Amino acid sequence: MRLADIHCHILPYVDDGAEHIEEMEALLASAVEQGIEIICATPHLRHGMFESTDEEIVRQYRRACGYIEEKGLPIRLFLSREYFCDDSFLRRLNEKRLIPMGWGNTVLAEFSGRYSAEKIEGFLKKILDAGWTPLIAHVERYGSLDEDIIRGFVEMGAKVQINAGSVLGREGHWQKKLCWSLLRHDLVSVVASDAHDPNYRPNELALCANKIGHKLGQDRAKKVLWDGPVKILSLDKGE
């Protein structure tokens, strides 16, 4: 099965993802080994915590592209960010300073685990009103949300991403259960690795793809691991 991974932290020195070049190389090697063809690097942007500038992440992105080319790795690399939703994000949204995922108009939006469902909905509406499509990062992680609320967000126009690790049960029973239910009810657009490093938060996308294919069929697996990501990057519109 073809695989695309559009939420991961492979770029070094920019957030709590890859700590140095060697970790980035190991994460890329793991992606190649698993047959991942497309990666969208999504370094965090969170006021007071992860504040690498766009210039810094572009510099690391170019370096990573150089490495991929030099080694002839069969990977196409894109760059976006994982935006933490707060006032500083809203300013950036108003100033039109967001990096979309691929050629489309989607942004990966992350929330505090302490936000209420109403607060999350407020951010999603603001993102939609500004003409963007929000892709909710690891939707299974927010305690204030349940499947009905998430369905409401999807009906509003938001898209849902879940982590491969959560699907595999690495984050506990509750998150695993919610992920499988969302997958079964076709509420997920993207399963991604959210990989941070090769050892503690590794990329387990291929293993997850096998599990989803086995349990829910190859079509559903392809939908969330290839078709959905490719659509979000707008690679399906030719080019």
The residues of the shown chain that bind Fe ion, judged by CB under 5 A, are 82, 194
Collect all residues with Cβ–Cβ distance below 8 Å to 110 and sequence separation of at least 6: 44, 46, 82, 83, 84, 85, 137, 138
Q: Tell me the CA end-to-end span of the chain in Å, nearest whole number.
A: 22
**Least distance in angstroms from the C-beta of 239 to Fe ion:** 26
Q: Which is nearer to Fe ion, 82 or 204 (CB)?
A: 82
**Least distance in angstroms from the C-beta of 194 to Fe ion:** 4
Q: Which is nearer to Fe ion, 96 or 229 (CB)?
A: 229
Collect all residues with Cβ–Cβ distance below 8 Å to 74 and sequence separation of at least 6: 32, 37
**Least distance in angstroms from the C-beta of 166 to Fe ion:** 12
**Least distance in angstroms from the C-beta of 8 to Fe ion:** 7
Q: Which is nearer to Fe ion, 49 or 185 (CB)?
A: 49
**Least distance in angstroms from the C-beta of 137 to Fe ion:** 6
Q: Which is nearer to Fe ion, 80 or 236 (CB)?
A: 80
- Give the residue closest to Fe ion by C-beta: 194
- Asked if 39 and 6 count as a contact pair (C-beta separation under 8 A), the reply is yes
Q: Which is nearer to Fe ion, 133 or 163 (CB)?
A: 163
- Asked if 13 and 20 count as a contact pair (C-beta separation under 8 A), the reply is yes
Handedness of CA 97, 120, 128, 160 (dihedral sign): positive
Beta-carbon count within 10 A of 148 CB: 8
Is 207 strand, coil or helix?
helix
